[in-house]
Amino acid sequence: MHHDVMTSSPIRSIAPSPIVELLNVSRRWRPGPLGAFPAVDALRGVTLQLFPGELVALTGAAGAGKSALLLLATGEVAPTSGVVRWGDREEPSAVRPQRIGARSWEYPSLTVRQALVFHADQLRRLDAPPRPPARYQPLLRRVGLLGRARTPLGALSALEAFRVVVAQALLARPALLCCDEPFAYCGPNERVEAVRLLRRLAGTGIAVLIATREGDGLVTRPEIDRSVALVQGRIVPSGRARRTRLPLPLPGLEVRPPRRRARVAEDAPPV
């Protein structure tokens, strides 16, 4: 008698590589050329990993070292000591990190689309490989600005202005997005919507790091996977456990031997 054998889809266990690793890094800001100011240790022996699909809050008071950590994570400055790795490299080109923050527009009469075209041109001047899209509607839809392409920047709300900054960053197709106090101009309700937008972006496989001051309530948001607290340049326990989410692998980044087991279907769609 013939018996049909039911087989399930193949499942493989993987653990994604970190998008960026800071390994025992320190950063000292040197004094001015005349030696008028003492050297400042912004970071002291910091080790941190950010993985695909994570939304991480970096908290700390003013001067704790948050901006210095973001500059190191994006490769804009080098550590005084220690090592920074992006994927399996010690230079960030494969990850295309972007750093954004709250901003007021120098040219408020520009439309949203013109701001994107201008930023795409800047990426080309910096020898960034992505070409600007022929149509911006998909990008505007992705950040929640569909129908606002012709709106002047000066007529946008604080939340809409934040969405434009995010859209500009996405032109580079980053695997790492670092946000330095990005909600400074947003009210409480706008901040919630901004965090939700970053959560959706993280869900596509981008690692998102938000630097924010203590006491703003961000770390208690359900969208945040984990929080990292900085005090005087050192990471201290924050009391916030890491959430378990299924990060999506990013193309072009190597996958290391698994350290944790997660179930991912073989036919998972590419990011």
Instruction: Band the pLDDT of 253: cuts 50, 70, 90.
Output: very low
- Stretch among 51-55, 138-142, 210-214, 249-253 having the lowest mean pLDDT: 249-253
pLDDT digits (tens, 9 = 90+) for 158-172: 999 999 999 999 999
Q: Identify the pLDDT of residue 259.
A: 40
Given this model, what pLDDT does residue 271 score?
Answer: 34
* Per-range mean pLDDT, top range of 58-62, 103-107, 183-187, 197-201: 197-201
- Tell me the per-residue pLDDT of 25-78, one tens digit each, with 9 for 90 and over: 999 988 766 666 788 899 999 999 999 999 999 999 999 999 999 999 999 999
- Rounded mean pLDDT, 73-94: 94
Does pLDDT of 246 surpass 90? no
Q: Is pLDDT above 60 for 255?
A: no
Say how far apart CA 192 and CA 247 lie, in whole Å: 22
Q: What is the pLDDT of residue 270?
A: 38
Instruction: Supply the pLDDT for residue 156.
Output: 95
What pLDDT is recorded for position 106?
82
| pLDDT at res. 256 | 40
Buried b vs exposed e over 232-257: b needs ≥16 C-beta within 10 Å?
Answer: ebbbeebebeeeebebbbbeebeeee
Q: What is the pLDDT of residue 219?
A: 83
Domain boundaries, the chain: 98-173
Least confident of 132-146, 185-199, 241-255: 241-255
**pLDDT for 192-240, tens place per residue?**
999 999 999 999 999 999 999 866 678 889 999 999 999 999 999 865 5
Q: How confident is the model at residue 241 (pLDDT cuts 50, 70, 90)?
A: low
Quote the pLDDT of residue 35: 60
Q: Predicted confidence band at 14 (pLDDT cuts at 50, 70, 90)?
A: low
What is the structure's pLDDT at 104?
80
Give the confidence band of 7 by pLDDT, cuts at 50, 70, 90: very low
What was the pLDDT predicted at 54? 96
